[in-house]
Amino acid sequence: MKVITAVKRVVDYNVKVRVKSDQSGVDIGNVKMSMNPFDEIATEAATRLKEAGKATEVVAVSCGVAQSQETLRTALAIGADRGILVETDVELQPLSVAKLLKAVIDRERPELVILGKQAIDDDAGQTGQLLAALLDWPQATFASNIEIGDGTATVTREVDGGLEVVSLRLPAIVTTDLRLNEPRYVTLPNIMKAKKKPIETIKPADLGVDPAPRLKTLKVVEPPVRKTGALVANVAALVEKLKTEAKVI
């Protein structure tokens, strides 16, 4: 079974993002970039399936600028066998990414595609669902456990009411939640091995896809600064402040 995992290059989760002075977007100049944390979980899940003998090959796919090769190298160090970079400088939106991934999947013919449930830069959480719709494949989102059987995948999903278990007929799309696994620490030997693994670079035009954005960002602003909290002596003082200052009771 071949497994494809999609990985995205995003601003590192430890970085405090800053809005550009013209409010056109987030400033990523001289900012540390890394793999989207949910995509790390997806790559770890695919690697574990291979280690368990359930998968024969893991292919990592990334869409974006040339520097996304660094993200693919991280995926290869985790355990992917090879990488594919769909290189473009165009600002990619979820639908464009889904179309690019569909074109790659049509060429690679995997039995399972694992993605992070969302990217921490735009928090859209749409790519997996859009990809499933374009492929007309079954999907299971927010997975906290994946078990592969004979032509099927049993996925435990995290939903508002608790856990839901669904069975999918392969090929299928799965998006990962935080509690699916804890990605392994990438060791230096694996980083060195990853440098020898192949990465194929293609253009959207090679796949017959126009990635031009359909939505326009009008303005990006920082959230308002929260007011400093205040300590009160007792419950009576709290109730008085809620009545007179907050005016919520």
Q: What is the pLDDT of residue 151?
A: 92
pTM: 0.86
How big is the CA angle at 181 (ends 180 and 185), to the nearest 5 degrees? 155
Q: Which two tokens stand for residue 242?
A: 């809620």
The residue with tokens 């990006």 is 220
- pLDDT of the chain, 249 residues: tens digit per residue: 999 999 999 999 988 888 888 988 888 888 899 999 999 999 999 999 999 999 999 999 999 999 999 999 999 999 999 999 999 999 999 999 999 999 999 999 999 999 999 999 989 999 999 999 999 999 999 999 999 999 999 999 988 888 999 999 999 999 999 999 999 999 999 999 999 999 999 999 999 999 999 988 899 888 888 888 888 899 999 999 899 888 888
Question: What pLDDT is stored for residue 230 in this prediction?
Answer: 81
> Is the alpha carbon torsion for 85, 88, 94, 96 positive or negative?
negative
Token duo for residue 46: 């695919």
pLDDT at 21: 86
Give me the number of domains the chain comprises: 1
State the residue range of the domain holding 18. 2-246
Count of all residues that appear for the chain in the document: 249
What is the 3 state secondary structure string of the chain?
CEEEEECCEEECCCCCCEECCCCCCEECCCCCEEECHHHHHHHHHHHHHHHCCCCCEEEEEEEECCCHHHHHHHHHHHCCCEEEEEECCCCCCHHHHHHHHHHHHHHHCCCEEEEECCCCCCCCCCHHHHHHHHHCCCEEEEEEEEEECCCEEEEEEEECCEEEEEEEECCEEEEECHHHCCCCCCCHHHHHHHCCCCEEEECHHHHCCCCCCCCCCCCCCCCCCCCCCCCCCCHHHHHHHHHHHHCCC
Report the CATH number at residue 170.
3.40.50.620
